C-alpha cells in the first residue's frame, strides 16, 4: 500500500520510538542503508469512514517521508479490525492528513548506523 494513501489516527506523535531512536535518525538510516527499510515492522491499518488509518503513526511518518523522497513506493501493511482504533487512540483533528511532532528535533542521534534499531 502507498504510505500517501494511509492516514494518521492521532493528531501528534513523540519524536522517539520506544527503543530510544528518533523518527529522524530512523529516516536517515533508511536513506543511507535502504535494506533497513525492510527491517521496520509492518504498520497496522484499519478502515474508518472510508479511509485507511494507521495505529502506528511514527512508523507511518517515516514511510511517508521515504515515499516523498523517492526511496519507496509501497509498503506491506497488516489490516486489523477497526475496533482496535479506540476513541482515545483516534485523536486526529484534520482527517489524518498531517501529524504534529510533540518534541522538537535535536540533532542528537541522527548519524546512528546501528543494525539494532528495530
- Per-residue pLDDT tens for 88-115? 999 999 999 999 999 765 555 555 555 5
Closest by CA position to 71, among listed 40, 101, 96: 40
Return all residues near 30 (Cβ < 8 A) that are at least 6 apart: 36, 37, 40, 62, 66, 71
What is the mean pLDDT of the segment spanning 43-55?
Answer: 97
Cell 509498503, residue?
75
Q: What is the pTM of this model?
A: 0.86
- pLDDT band of residue 22 (cuts 50, 70, 90) is very high
Helix (H) or strand (E) holding 57: helix 57-68
Closest by CA position to 43, among listed 94, 78, 3, 2: 78
- pLDDT band of residue 19 (cuts 50, 70, 90) is very high
Amino acid at each position: 500500500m502507498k504510505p500517501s494513501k494511509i492516514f494518521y489516527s492521532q493528531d501528534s506523535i513523540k519524536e522517539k520510538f520506544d527503543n530510544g531512536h528518533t523518527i529522524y535518525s530512523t529516516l536517515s538510516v533508511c536513506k543511507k542503508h535502504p535494506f533497513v527499510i525492510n527491517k521496520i515492522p509492518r504498520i497496522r491499518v484499519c478502515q474508518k469512514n472510508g479511509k485507511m488509518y494507521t495505529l502506528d503513526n511514527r512508523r507511518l511518518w517515516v514511510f511517508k517521508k521515504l515515499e516523498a523522497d523517492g526511496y519507496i513506493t509501497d509498503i506491506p501493511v497488516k489490516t486489523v479490525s477497526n475496533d482496535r482504533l479506540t476513541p482515545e487512540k483516534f485523536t486526529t483533528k484534520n482527517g489524518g492528513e498531517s501529524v504534529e511532532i510533540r518534541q522538537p528535533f535535536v540533532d542528537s542521534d541522527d548519524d546512528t548506523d546501528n543494525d539494532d534499531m528495530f
